[in-house]
Chains A and B, each alone.
Chain A
Amino acid sequence: MSDRTMANEKNNAGIIQGGVHQNHLHDSAHKHVSGTAIYIDDLPELPGCLQVYIGMSEKPHAKIKSIDVSAARKAEGVACVLTADDIPGINDYSPVMGDDPIFANELVEYVGQSMFAVAADSIDNARAAASLVKVDYEELPAILTIEEALEKESYVLSPNEMKRGDSATALERAENRLKDRILIGGQDHFYLEGHIALAIPGEDDDVLVHSSTQHPSEVQHNVAKALGVSDHCVTIEIRRMGGGFGGKESQPALFASVAAMVAKKTGKAAKVRLDRDDDMEMTGKRHDFIMDYDVGFDASGRIEGIEFIQACRAGNSADLTGAIADRAMFHADNAYYLENVTIKSYRCKTNTVSNTAFRGFGGPQGVVGIERVIDAIANHLGKDPLEIRKVNFYGTTDRNVTPYYMTVEDNVIHELVVELEADADYAARRADIRAFNENSPFVKKGIALTPVKFGISFTTTFLNQAGALVHVYTDGSVHLNHGGTEMGQGLYTKVAQVVAEEFQIDNNRVKITATNTGKVPNTSATAASSGADMNGMAAQAAARTIRNRLTDFAAQKFQVKADEVRWLPGRIQVGAEEMTFPDLVKQAYLARISLSSTGYYATPKIHYDAQKMQGRPFYYFAYGAAVTEVEVDTLTGEYKVMRTDILHDVGKSLNPTIDLGQVEGAYIQGVGWLTTEELVWHPSGKLWTHAPSTYKIPACSDRAPEFNVRLWDKGKNAEETIYRSKAVGEPPLMLGVSALMALSDAVASVGGYKIHPGLNAPATPERVLDAVDRVREAAAG
């Protein structure tokens, strides 16, 4: 049956296909499995399309005395070579601060920094020509570590402080006090599709760029800025990315700008596609942190005062570091009430690639910090860490104000954790593990339950807005567009479900279309987990406008009251009559009713004073918890995750299958970050781990043999979000923290659980082995 005949048949079933709260398949699933989903590299190339290679700095910090591109310009197949001098507009692709040159011209600040571009008839010719470019550097001293940057007070932005109560006095008075330093590593995004942009020149100053980006509007603004033209000359389009995870938020602007400049200069289409090694060297990662804590607590483990110093590696420029470091501060509490607290934040400037957004956006690092503190307290007091967690949880009516003075109004962490604890049989398993460890000399097991509470909204308040565009054609088929982008998370599917629900038509009548700055302008990045919350609301508003027009029209035409027009599954009841959506639409068109509308949404209730670091930066919180069990070989440090149990709150899920997929994927990505994914820089400033051969992301065999994941069925958003659902993109990443704490628990067993292992992240086998040795020595000594 064709779509058309299906649409004209009345759906007398009680429910439409693919409405909200249904397990509707990912809209592209059939294309993904058959190889017909088009990514940018799959688009047909126009004749003469140029391939662009970007020349990179070989020094971490140096003055550029000269760049000689003359030989490259004459090389085989070369159409043009661009340096800073060839940029028609402004030499900058930064999101905010103006400190990211497209091509470095006087100074390079990291190995891998973009210096020039060669466009040729093939990528091989472009690369070969680039190797002919001669750069004369005058090397300068480089800062390669956070420690060095702190020592030299090298910052990209000034330090920040968040404070509530009197931590100094509380620490002095506390019965127990612990201090330590925590190291938390960075993480490469490793989206399977690397960065790519394809520019097609148009008339006058126009250019269309297909850019693999989570933030089309920002790419548009940066391309226009580089070309020195108005924003309206530049159109950015993206149908789907092969993964994003935050890595395609601010960074695609570089590649899109270069492609667009080549296209406008040569009049030919131009493609920039990074290979994996170049992508890993050239682009920023999750921020690594050094955290110092000083905590005071009573005999029950309740925290009375705490001070954190959080220092992160920004890399060479600010990029999004300000907001990321802020979010680390906002999540230094995770799910715990910190009455007397001071958090200092340092945003260190180093001669390494500029770090950027990555799922969780600084939040996960904040969470790791406080969870480590909790474990240290537990080891110190000889108690179960879960007991310490519970003692410190936010209350529901008291002890419920965050360090930034936001009242937690929707706290469900107690209930959720108790439910998971029972589900996962935590207490009995913990006892079994202790017994096992007593009798097992080398292999030790560990278990941990960690919670997550994650704030939802962009903390930069104005970003919390979204737009959508809905057309209904006269045959009743619907065209949907919005500012959100699809990177696999199922956003397009969810928003289409919302629109289908609004019109009470089957989902296959709603055509999902590529995100395009010409259709919905001035959008925010698809980030901060806000995609479905905001774009779902905007699309609903657009559809509702049309639906209301149709209702009014039907009421008038058939002489009934508006409330006698009822939208039923697959049909509309008008008084005593029933008609299909296409029938009503056709009649409305003939009566000259507009069948197209935009929709807009701005998140309510939020406000925030960035100077004081006080307010309500988040609309609501998402919650979850995980239990992970591991097995460690204490002779080698090698380990395996044996079992995982997750309970996660996504409110009333728009699409449980898609949400579960997000939770599973995020957990594994979180575990990878904290265990095997280690970034190593050579003393020369070069990233050594620039391919999956040396940078170990989780493989299929790393997954726990027993993996139980459940969405919390009591979940419901306390706020009026789209169908009371909750954001799901980032929060579950922090469930992976339970793996790090389980490893710590296994290591602690070698010292009778009395010595805190101080296990840093990533907890590679080497680090685990070191921690085992440390704990053994301390126990013996």
Chain B
Amino acid sequence: MTNVSMTVNGRPVSADVEPRTLLVEYLRENIGLTGTHVGCDTSQCGACVIHVDGKSVKSCTMLAVQAAGCEVTTIEGLANGDDLHPMQAAFRENHGLQCGFCTPGMVMSAVDLVTKNPDLTDTEIRDGLEGNICRCTGYHNIVKSVRAGSNAMKAAE
């Protein structure tokens, strides 16, 4: 067992875990944040995307110890109290979801994309979300949501 500490959604956390513990397991099982989902277990579907030091990461592909001391943001930490982050609001308003299982990862990837490039074209949105699989929506409303979210993020600046 190793003690792993980090800051998650602005709050310092710490837990004793085996060194092989994945970051997603640490978050879901040790910290109790179950908004980050596991869809494929093998770094392909993007359901588990979170931000580590501001960059999107597939948390099923990173060890908890690798994130020790880092600033981690999960889907639960994106909203400001009751006010949804503009990207969350955009997915909600534009019906960019059905079963919702991919949604947390989609939203986290989308926020990172827009943060890196506030002026995304549709093609850039589509290519940027290549690593996030959605089996329900056909992506139409997801692209729409990201565009709306990106506009709202710009307006909020």
Report A-chain residues with C-beta under 8 Å of the C-beta of B45. 192, 276, 692
Q: State whether A701 touches B99 (Cβ < 8 A).
A: no
Report the minimum CB–CB distance from A341 to chain B (whole Å).
34
Interface residues on A, range: 35 or more
Q: State whether A34 touches B133 (Cβ < 8 A).
A: no
Contact partner, B100, options A488, A661, A693, A699, Cβ 8 Å: A488
Report B-chain residues with C-beta under 8 Å of the C-beta of A661. 95, 98, 136-138, 141
Report the minimum CB–CB distance from B117 to chain A (whole Å).
16
Q: A35-B33, A691-B40 are in contact. Are A703 and B143 (CB under 8 A)?
A: yes
Contact partner, A192, options B28, B101, B107, B127, Cβ 8 Å: B101
Contact partner, A38, options B34, B88, B127, Cβ 8 Å: B34
Q: A661-B137, A664-B141, A703-B138 are in contact. Are A35 and B34 (CB under 8 A)?
A: yes
Q: State whether B75 touches A245 (Cβ < 8 A).
A: no
Q: State whether B34 touches A41 (Cβ < 8 A).
A: yes
Interface residues on B, range: 35 or more
Q: State whether A692 touches B40 (Cβ < 8 A).
A: yes
Q: State whether A35 touches B98 (Cβ < 8 A).
A: no
Report the minimum CB–CB distance from B23 to chain A (whole Å).
16
Q: Is B56 an interface residue (CB 8 A)?
A: no
Report B-chain residues with C-beta under 8 Å of the C-beta of A137. none
Q: State whether B135 touches A192 (Cβ < 8 A).
A: yes
Report A-chain residues with C-beta under 8 Å of the C-beta of B47. 192
Q: State whether B84 touches A30 (Cβ < 8 A).
A: yes
Q: Give Cα distance in the complex from A143 to B132, angstroms.
A: 37
Contact partner, B139, options A33, A190, A242, A700, Cβ 8 Å: A700
Q: State whether B130 touches A699 (Cβ < 8 A).
A: yes
Binds B, one of A21-29, A263-271, A537-545, A719-727: A21-29
Q: A703-B138, A705-B123 are in contact. Are A192 and B99 (CB under 8 A)?
A: yes
Q: Give Cα distance in the complex from A657 to B122, angstroms.
A: 21
Q: State whether A33 touches B92 (Cβ < 8 A).
A: yes
Report B-chain residues with C-beta under 8 Å of the C-beta of A42. 28, 34-35
Q: State whether A242 touches B100 (Cβ < 8 A).
A: yes
**Which of A658, A700, A703 gathers most chain B CB within 10 Å?**
A700
Q: Give Cα distance in the complex from A488 to B135, angstroms.
A: 10
Report B-chain residues with C-beta under 8 Å of the C-beta of A669. 135, 138
Q: Give Cα distance in the complex from A660 to B138, angstroms.
A: 11
Report B-chain residues with C-beta under 8 Å of the C-beta of A86. none
Q: Is A709 an interface residue (CB 8 A)?
A: yes
Report the minimum CB–CB distance from B48 to chain A (whole Å).
11
Per-residue 0/1 for A684-719: is the Cβ within 8 Å of any B Cβ (1 yes, 0 no)? Answer: 000000011100011111010101010000000000
Contact partner, B44, options A240, A657, A692, Cβ 8 Å: A692
Contact partner, A692, options B38, B102, B133, Cβ 8 Å: B133
Q: State whether B101 touches A490 (Cβ < 8 A).
A: no
Q: Give Cα distance in the complex from A770 to B74, angstroms.
A: 47
Report the minimum CB–CB distance from B142 to chain A (whole Å).
7
Please give me the residue from chain B that is nearest to A672 by CB atom.
B135
Report the minimum CB–CB distance from A276 to chain B (whole Å).
4
Q: State whether B139 touches A668 (Cβ < 8 A).
A: yes
Q: State whether B135 touches A664 (Cβ < 8 A).
A: no
Q: Give Cα distance in the complex from A668 to B140, angstroms.
A: 10
Q: Give Cα distance in the complex from A703 to B126, angstroms.
A: 8
Please give me the residue from chain A that is nearest to B125 by CB atom.
A700
Report B-chain residues with C-beta under 8 Å of the C-beta of A404. none
Q: Give Cα distance in the complex from A657 to B104, angstroms.
A: 21
Q: State whether B129 touches A700 (Cβ < 8 A).
A: yes
Q: Is B69 an interface residue (CB 8 A)?
A: no
Contact partner, A193, options B84, B99, B129, Cβ 8 Å: B99
Q: Give Cα distance in the complex from A693 to B42, angstroms.
A: 9
Report the minimum CB–CB distance from A595 to chain B (whole Å).
32
Q: A242-B37, A697-B135, A703-B138 are in contact. Are A34 and B75 (CB under 8 A)?
A: yes
Report B-chain residues with C-beta under 8 Å of the C-beta of A192. 37, 39, 45, 47, 99, 101-102, 133-136
Q: State whether A33 touches B91 (Cβ < 8 A).
A: yes
Report the minimum CB–CB distance from B152 to chain A (whole Å).
13
Q: Is A31 an interface residue (CB 8 A)?
A: yes
Report B-chain residues with C-beta under 8 Å of the C-beta of A240. 99-100
Q: State whether A31 touches B40 (Cβ < 8 A).
A: no
Report the minimum CB–CB distance from A602 to chain B (whole Å).
29
Report the minimum CB–CB distance from A83 to chain B (whole Å).
26
Report the minimum CB–CB distance from A25 to chain B (whole Å).
7
Contact partner, A700, options B79, B84, B143, Cβ 8 Å: B143
Q: Is A517 an interface residue (CB 8 A)?
A: no
Please give me the residue from chain B that is nearest to A667 by CB atom.
B138
Report B-chain residues with C-beta under 8 Å of the C-beta of A25. 92-93, 95
Report the minimum CB–CB distance from A187 to chain B (whole Å).
11
Q: State whether B95 touches A700 (Cβ < 8 A).
A: no
Report A-chain residues with C-beta under 8 Å of the C-beta of B122. 705
* Complex interface residues of chain B between 63 and 96 (CB less than 8 A to chain A): 74-76, 78-79, 84, 88-89, 91-93, 95
Contact partner, A276, options B37, B39, B99, B130, Cβ 8 Å: B39
Q: Is A395 an interface residue (CB 8 A)?
A: no
Report B-chain residues with C-beta under 8 Å of the C-beta of A190. 133, 135
Report A-chain residues with C-beta under 8 Å of the C-beta of B92. 25, 29-30, 32-33
Contact partner, B35, options A30, A35, A705, Cβ 8 Å: A35
Please give me the residue from chain A that is nearest to B141 by CB atom.
A661
Q: Is A778 an interface residue (CB 8 A)?
A: no
Q: Is B57 an interface residue (CB 8 A)?
A: no
Q: State whether A668 touches B138 (Cβ < 8 A).
A: yes
Report A-chain residues with C-beta under 8 Å of the C-beta of B89. 33
Q: Is B59 an interface residue (CB 8 A)?
A: no
Q: State whether B135 touches A277 (Cβ < 8 A).
A: no
Report the minimum CB–CB distance from A204 to chain B (whole Å).
32
Q: State whether B104 touches A26 (Cβ < 8 A).
A: no
Q: Give Cα distance in the complex from A554 to B138, angstroms.
A: 49
Report the minimum CB–CB distance from A198 to chain B (whole Å).
13
Q: State whether B41 touches A276 (Cβ < 8 A).
A: yes
> Across chains A and B, which 10 residue pairs bring their CB atoms closest together, nearest first?
A35-B35, A488-B99, A242-B101, A32-B100, A488-B98, A668-B138, A35-B75, A42-B34, A192-B101, A664-B138
Can you pick out 26 interface pairs between chain A and chain B where the beta carbons lie within 8 Å of each other?
A29-B91, A30-B84, A32-B100, A33-B91, A35-B33, A35-B34, A39-B37, A191-B99, A192-B39, A192-B133, A193-B101, A240-B99, A242-B39, A277-B41, A488-B98, A488-B136, A490-B98, A661-B136, A661-B138, A664-B137, A665-B98, A665-B138, A666-B138, A692-B42, A692-B45, A693-B42
